[in-house]
């Protein structure tokens, strides 16, 4: 019987419990045509039977006999009804609150006669409607109103009555039932992803009744709150022998067999997936900025809960994770962790990435990185990708997802919040009701765990079964010789060959017949192989061609089914990395990476210049580079490079490039910019340039011009230009082929300059001379000068020709402040800025009351009364009265009224001339005469003896011989016979030279009054020399080796050492009473701080200071003339510079000598004989022995010495040391 006959017979046997159709039955009795009968049956059913059925059902819809309601919990209700007879498409269930309630209604579809709805209010009244679906028609099947609280009360009352009836032997049947009475054993149909499912527990009796039931449909909910579920039971038709079931049905079978409880669905962590099938799961997590750090924590919790039910091991399930935003990042590979605890720990440590959303790029990353064998992916394992995102991708995700799905990789898509549901459905695999999920916010992700873990578990099991079913097991022996080979693999594919391997059937064939041919047409070729062979290499194939390959087993009596495969040969290796270099206006150089095996290369260059025919250049070369010349400027060329393999050519490597235009000048720049001109400079691009054209145009178009210069020129000056005007300047090069494009720039001329360097000179009478410097005299037409007094008198003006730079201003008043202003007018009409100068006229009076006092053997103190007006400085000229040729001049500050003349000869008359230098000139001079004091013939050597007058620069002994100066060692008692009386000083002999070394302990601070030492005659030219050694305990802070201070211990003159900076500084007060410091930090200076003895000379002249180290000149620097030194202060050794006062601390160091010479030539005369490393025995005097002991016999008594103040001094003078 045909298919249509079966349908008619089946329909004719249907019992109509609701309504009879006599017309239809009588017509079917006499039906001749089966096709016509089928059409009429459908017509009658649609247009006759259904309206009647709707009518009858509508009347009975209010009856509760068709509905059985069971309260499962406070907010969940299960409903069942009697399954209708006939061929229907399912049911639609609608639960809506009473009119006027703001709560949304729940609507779902199911194919089984039961459903479960959750999220209801126990005290609200709802209307329940069940519709029968048949094609596009809906018919109301049952309708009922209910309140969950009332149903619970009624159920409790019925239970009480049932218990009472049981005692009297009566059986009561209730309309509703408790939660323990609802149907069980049915396979739960997965609801849509946006519905939250909670399945009830199953009753044992119901399990027996429903045993063996299989799922048939699925439920669909139209909204998420209140959440709805469909628990549907249906008996499907017998499965076909091929067992080819849809993934959705297989999934539902797996879900049904697990029989999850209500709590396990709510809490996915209680569920454990009992499969250990090899599966690679890649979690792809969106880490874009829109998620936020707080929501990212919820994602990590969701991932941890999702992973927990699975058995993670090296040979079972592997889990990898990549996080993506603007770019994907592999957090860990599939093979990174082998236990569940390790993966959960990695999820907890996952760090938020941030960025944009590029899902397509992330899916490509999964394919190219995460699913590679070296990343832990297994070829035999199934592949699952779980995508979690909260927004729409900023790139195309569909293409990358389709590539993964085509490779058999299943994709689950989970959307949160703003995710694009349409995009999720495009990305996810089929069936979408199992692989697409979407929730409104991140906290709702936890509601997906129970559902999703079971779906994943079922899919893993299903795929494991499919793979297991594909393997040949226990093949019967009676299947005959027509067994086919399996597992055809094509490998080692090249452009000309491929390798075939296959698994032979259980019953070996006699021969194999391999047939292969191009899929787009071509002559088939075949190869016959022995039946024991299971591989073959096909050669001499056409490159870049898809081939169909079939392997047929040949037996003695038959040919088995063929094993077929499709693959494409590789294209011939093309040139790679084609690029253009050395591009010019008429040539280009091409280079590329060589193609393996190529015999030569064919280069085709084509273009269609404007107004010309198509031009093609063909070049054959053996090397992977070529120079194409003779091209046209500014022309686009298409270049194709073929790798030639004999007569065969590979696919071309192509590139398009435009030749350069005629090279313009380069590096346009402007210099020598003024108000009327500018120099334009450039660099010629080629030696083929014949000329350059420089064009300039003012922004207003008022001033334009063009200059032509030879091709060898690289600059030109443009003039005359207008001031403060923007000019657009272009330079173009002229070739034989024409002009190049210009290189352009713009520049704005400067403002016309004003006169500068104003100078006022007072003249005799009531006038003065004003002078200035003309910056652009050739462009000036006239200078305008205006002057007025500060009292606001009427100003006077004067015009001077532009070629003059001086003017006489008449009629001025004495001792009056004037403001003098001048500006210039230029040829272009521009006026410069005004330049002004303040000047006070005066008579340039000289100083008065000049007198001389405080005579000493080498100095005179000169005093005067300052004149009126502002004095710039004073000029003091002095010379001996008897020798006017030895005249000397010094300067003093304009604020001073005295000066000390140093380095004079004793007992000699001097003439002193003083004049005041005003800002307007020098005054007349005034003079006076004074005489220096006579000197004492010899300075007593006893410490503490102070003569009434001292020698100006006495003669002392030094390493260089006798010099005029001061021995600071004797001043501070650092000599062999006095050091023991000085606190904080120790002496030890220097065995190499016989000199005595004195150690100054820390905070000794040797101090002497300047007046006691009579060190007031240090001349402007002097040399400070010392031989010292810094100790390990020497502080790292700066200290003065030797210095002169005033009464407040402010330094006046001396030498500082800074161990931290490794520098030496000389300081003094110049003739203007300003403190000046000169520092030396050369590499040689650092030797002083190495811990050895070094000799230092600081030679000071009037204008220079020189530093010598170990009798070698180190540096020379300028300096002002030394001023006068106060005699009311102190002289100190080792003073720490950061503190002040008589007990402020000093440094520790060793000292052998410290002298001040009254000239600046002492360093050049010293030969450093006291340094063993520099001592020359032939030129240096013989050293004194370090120890001189007597023979023990007393000598002749000497003359009596001066009286001593104590017996201790007598002992020091009479003792002979032997150290």
Q: Which CATH architecture has domain 666-748?
A: Sandwich (2.60)
Instruction: Spell out a b/e string for 943-977, using b for 16 or more CB atoms within 10 Å of the CB, else e.
Output: beeeeeebbbbbebebbbeebebbbbbbbbbbbee
SS3 content of the chain, % helix, strand, coil (to 5): 20, 35, 45
- 576-658 has CATH 1.10.10.10 classification: no
Q: Is 288 exposed, middle or buried (0-12, 13-18, 19+ CB in 10 A)?
A: buried
In this predicted structure, what is the pLDDT of residue 1199? 67
Cβ atoms of residues 529 and 512 within 8 Å = yes
* Separation of alpha carbons 470 and 466, rounded Å: 6
* Separation of alpha carbons 465 and 454, rounded Å: 16
Q: Which CATH architecture has domain 279-464?
A: 3-Layer(aba) Sandwich (3.40)
Count CB-CB contacts under 10 A for residue 1058. Answer: 17
Residues 6+ apart with CB under 8 A from 798: 784, 785, 786, 807, 809
Q: Is 1122 helix (H, G, I), strand (E, B) or coil?
A: strand
Q: E-strand spans in 135-218?
A: 137-147
Of 1177, 1109, 1165, residue with least CA distance to 960: 1165
Count CB-CB contacts under 10 A for residue 341. Answer: 10
In this predicted structure, what is the pLDDT of residue 106? 67
Please tell me if the domain spanning 67-153 has the same topology as the one spanning 279-464. no
* Separation of alpha carbons 864 and 420, rounded Å: 99
Of 84, 79, 72, residue with least CA distance to 95: 79
Residues 6+ apart with CB under 8 A from 958: 965, 1025, 1153, 1155, 1157, 1162, 1166
Residues 6+ apart with CB under 8 A from 248: 190, 218, 431, 433, 434
Homologous superfamily (CATH) for 67-153: Immunoglobulins (2.60.40.10)
- 486-569 has CATH 2.60.40.10 classification: yes
Return averaged pLDDT per consecutive 10 residues of the chain, 1219 residues in all. Answer: 36 34 37 36 34 32 63 81 74 79 64 81 85 78 84 78 54 33 34 34 36 36 36 34 38 39 41 86 92 91 92 91 90 92 92 87 87 87 92 84 86 91 91 91 89 89 69 36 76 91 87 86 81 91 88 77 86 90 87 91 81 73 91 88 88 89 90 91 89 91 88 92 90 87 91 87 77 82 88 84 88 82 88 86 81 82 86 90 82 90 87 86 86 64 40 71 84 87 84 76 87 71 92 92 89 93 93 89 93 92 90 92 81 87 82 89 78 74 57 61 47 38
* Separation of alpha carbons 675 and 833, rounded Å: 13
Bridging pattern class, strands 835-840 and 817-826:
antiparallel
Cβ atoms of residues 645 and 544 within 8 Å = no
Q: Is the pTM of this model over 0.75?
A: no
* Separation of alpha carbons 1007 and 279, rounded Å: 93
- 848-932 has CATH 3.50.30.50 classification: no
* Separation of alpha carbons 18 and 58, rounded Å: 12
Bridging pattern class, strands 726-734 and 743-748:
antiparallel
DSSP string, 644-679: EETTEE-PPEEEEEEPPPSPPPEEEEEES--SS-EE
Q: Is 1212 exposed, middle or buried (0-12, 13-18, 19+ CB in 10 A)?
A: middle
Homologous superfamily (CATH) for 756-841: Immunoglobulins (2.60.40.10)
* Separation of alpha carbons 1150 and 1092, rounded Å: 10
Instruction: Spell out a b/e string for 92-112, using b for 16 or more CB atoms within 10 Å of the CB, else e.
Output: bbbbebeeeeeeeebbbbbbb
Q: What's CA 418's distance to the chain center, in Å?
A: 31
* Separation of alpha carbons 319 and 329, rounded Å: 15
Of 998, 995, 1005, residue with least CA distance to 1184: 995
User: For residues 404, 405, 407 and 411, what is the CA-based torsion angle, rounded to 10 degrees?
Assistant: 70
Q: What's CA 685's distance to the chain center, in Å?
A: 38
* Separation of alpha carbons 325 and 394, rounded Å: 10
> Quick one: DSSP state of residue 947?
-
Rounded to a whole number of angstroms, the distance between the first and last alpha carbons of the chain is 143
Of 64, 138, 74, residue with least CA distance to 107: 138
Half-sphere exposure (Cβ direction) of 628: Cα atoms closer than 13 Å = 30
Of 840, 802, 842, 841, residue with least CA distance to 822: 802
Q: Is 499 exposed, middle or buried (0-12, 13-18, 19+ CB in 10 A)?
A: middle
Q: Where are the domains of the chain?
A: 67-153, 279-464, 486-569, 576-658, 666-748, 756-841, 848-932, 955-1164
Sheet with 535-538, edge to edge strand ranges = 486-491, 498-503, 535-538
Of 636, 496, 645, residue with least CA distance to 575: 645
In this predicted structure, what is the pLDDT of residue 22? 38
Count CB-CB contacts under 10 A for residue 193. Answer: 27
At the topology level, CATH places domain 955-1164 in Jelly Rolls (2.60.120)
């Amino acid at each position: 019987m045909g298919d249509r006959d079966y349908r008619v017979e089946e329909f004719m046997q249907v019992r109509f419990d609701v309504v009879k159709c006599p017309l239809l039955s009588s017509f079917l009795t006499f039906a001749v045509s089966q096709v016509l009968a089928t059409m009429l049956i459908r017509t009658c059913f649609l247009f006759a039977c259904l309206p009647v059925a709707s009518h009858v059902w509508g009347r009975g819809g209010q009856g509760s006999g068709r509905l059985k309601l069971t309260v499962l919990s406070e907010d969940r209700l299960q409903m069942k009804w009697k399954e209708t007879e006939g061929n229907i498409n399912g049911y639609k269930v609608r639960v809506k609150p009473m009119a006027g309630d703001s709560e949304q209604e729940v609507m779902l579809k199911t194919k089984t006669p039961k459903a479960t709805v959750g999220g209801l209010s126990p005290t609200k009244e709802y209307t329940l409607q069940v519709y029968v679906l048949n094609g596009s028609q809906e018919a109301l099947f049952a309708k009922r109103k209910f309140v969950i609280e009332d149903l619970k009360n009624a159920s409790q009352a019925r239970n009480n009555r049932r218990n009472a009836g049981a005692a009297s032997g009566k059986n009561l049947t209730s309309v509703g039932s408790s939660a323990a009475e609802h149907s069980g054993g049915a396979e739960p149909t997965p609801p849509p992803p946006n519905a939250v499912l909670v399945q009830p527990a199953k009753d044992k009796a119901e399990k027996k009744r429903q045993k063996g039931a299989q799922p048939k449909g699925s439920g669909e909910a139209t909204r998420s709150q209140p959440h709805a579920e469909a628990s549907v039971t249906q008996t499907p038709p017998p499965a076909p022998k091929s067992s080819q079931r849809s993934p959705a049905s297989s999934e539902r079978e797996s879900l049904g067999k697990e029989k999850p409880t209500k709590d396990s669905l709510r809490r996915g962590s209680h569920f454990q997936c009992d499969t250990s099938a090899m599966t690679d799961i890649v979690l792809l997590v969106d880490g874009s900025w829109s998620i936020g750090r707080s929501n990212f924590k919820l994602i990590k919790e969701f991932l941890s809960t999702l992973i927990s039910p699975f058995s993670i091991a090296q040979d079972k399930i592997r889990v990898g994770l990549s996080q993506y935003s603007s770019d994907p990042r592999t957090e860990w590979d599939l093979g990174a962790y082998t236990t569940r605890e390790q993966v959960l720990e990695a999820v907890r440590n996952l760090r938020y990435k941030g960025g944009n959303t590029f899902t397509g790029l992330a899916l490509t990353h999964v394919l190219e990185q995460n699913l590679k064998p070296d990343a832990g992916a297994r070829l035999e394992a199934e592949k699952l990708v779980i995508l979690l995102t909260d927004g729409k991708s900023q790139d195309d995700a569909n293409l990358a997802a389709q590539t993964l799905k085509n490779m058999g990789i299943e994709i689950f898509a989970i959307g949160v919040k703003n995710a694009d549901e349409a995009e999720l459905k495009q990305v996810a695999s089929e069936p979408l009701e199992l692989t697409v999920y979407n929730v409104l916010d991140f906290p709702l992700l936890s509601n997906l765990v129970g559902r999703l873990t079971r779906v994943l578990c079922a899919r893993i099991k299903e795929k494991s079964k499919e793979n297991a079913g594909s393997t040949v097991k226990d093949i019967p022996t009676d299947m005959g010789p027509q067994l086919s080979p399996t597992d055809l693999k094509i490998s080692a594919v090249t452009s000309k060959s491929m390798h075939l391997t296959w698994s032979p059937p259980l019953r070996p064939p006699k021969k194999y017949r391999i047939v292969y041919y191009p899929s787009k047409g071509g002559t088939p070729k075949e190869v016959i192989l022995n039946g024991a062979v299971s591989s073959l290499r096909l050669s001499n194939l056409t490159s870049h061609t898809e081939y169909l390959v079939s392997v047929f087993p040949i037996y003695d009596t038959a040919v088995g089914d063929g094993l077929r495969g499709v693959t494409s040969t590789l294209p011939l290796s093309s040139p790679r990395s084609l690029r253009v270099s050395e591009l010019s206006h008429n040539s280009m150089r091409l280079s590329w990476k060589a193609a393996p095996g190529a015999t030569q290369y064919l280069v085709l260059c084509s273009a269609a210049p404007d107004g010309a025919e198509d031009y093609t250049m063909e070049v054959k070369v053996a090397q992977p580079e070529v120079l194409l010349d003779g091209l046209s400027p500014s022309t686009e060329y298409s270049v194709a490079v073929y790798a030639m393999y004999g007569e065969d050519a590979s696919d071309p490597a192509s590139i398009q490039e435009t030749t350069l235009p005629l090279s313009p000048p380069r590096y346009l720049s402007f210099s020598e910019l003024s108000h009327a001109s500018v120099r334009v400079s450039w660099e010629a691009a080629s030696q083929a340039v014949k000329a350059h054209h420089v064009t300039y145009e003012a922004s207003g178009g008022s001033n334009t011009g063009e200059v032509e210069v030879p091709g060898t020129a690289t600059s030109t000056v443009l003039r005359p230009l207008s001031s403060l005007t923007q000019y657009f300047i272009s330079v173009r090069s002229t070739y034989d082929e024409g002009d190049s494009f210009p290189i352009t720039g713009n520049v704005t001329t400067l403002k016309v300059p004003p006169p500068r360097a104003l100078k006022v000179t007072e003249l005799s009478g009531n006038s003065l001379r004003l002078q200035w410097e003309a910056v652009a005299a050739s462009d000036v037409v006239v200078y305008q000068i205006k002057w007025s007094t500060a009292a606001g008198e009427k100003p006077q003006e004067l015009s001077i020709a532009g070629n003059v730079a001086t003017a006489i201003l008449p009629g001025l008043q004495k001792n009056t402040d004037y403001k003098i202003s001048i500006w210039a007018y230029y040829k272009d009409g521009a006026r410069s800025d005004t330049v002004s100068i303040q000047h006070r006229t005066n008579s340039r009076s000289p100083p008065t009351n000049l007198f001389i006092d405080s005579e000493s053997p080498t100095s005179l103190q000169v005093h005067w009364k300052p004149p009126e007006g502002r004095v710039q400085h004073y000029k003091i000229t002095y010379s001996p009265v008897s020798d006017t040729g030895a005249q000397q001049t010094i300067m003093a500050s304009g604020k001073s009224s005295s000066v000390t003349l140093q380095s004079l000869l004793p007992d000699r008359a001097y003439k002193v001339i003083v004049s005041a230098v005003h800002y307007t000139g020098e005054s007349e001079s005034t003079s006076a005469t004074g005489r220096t004091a006579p000197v004492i013939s010899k300075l007593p050597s006893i410490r503490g003896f102070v003569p009434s007058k001292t020698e100006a620069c006495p003669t002392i002994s030094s390493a260089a011989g006798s010099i005029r100066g001061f021995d600071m060692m004797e001043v501070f008692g650092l000599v062999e016979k006095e050091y023991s009386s000085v606190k904080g000083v120790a002496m030890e002999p220097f065995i190499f030279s016989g000199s005595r070394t004195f150690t100054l302990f820390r905070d000794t601070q040797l101090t002497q009054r300047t007046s006691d030492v009579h060190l007031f005659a240090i001349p402007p030219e002097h040399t400070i020399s010392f031989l010292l050694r810094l100790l390990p305990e020497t502080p790292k802070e700066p200290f003065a080796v030797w210095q002169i201070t005033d009464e407040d211990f402010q330094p006046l003159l001396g030498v500082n050492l800074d161990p931290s900076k490794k520098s030496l500084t000389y300081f003094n007060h110049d003739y203007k009473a300003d403190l000046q410091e000169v520092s030396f930090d050369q590499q040689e200076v650092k030797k002083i701080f190495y811990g050895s003895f070094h000799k230092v000379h600081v030679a000071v002249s009037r204008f220079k200071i020189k530093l010598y180290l170990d009798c070698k000149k180190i540096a020379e620097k300028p300096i002002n003339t030394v001023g006068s030194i106060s005699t009311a202060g102190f002289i100190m050794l080792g003073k720490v510079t950061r503190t002040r006062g008589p007990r402020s601390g000093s440094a520790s160091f060793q000292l052998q000598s410290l002298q001040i010479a009254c000239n600046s030539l002492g360093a050049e005369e010293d030969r450093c004989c006291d340094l063993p490393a520099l001592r020359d025995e032939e030129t240096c005097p013989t050293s004194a022995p370090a120890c001189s002991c007597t023979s023990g016999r007393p000598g002749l008594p000497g003359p009596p010495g001066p009286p001593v103040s104590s017996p201790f001094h007598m002992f020091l003078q009479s003792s002979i040391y032997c150290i």
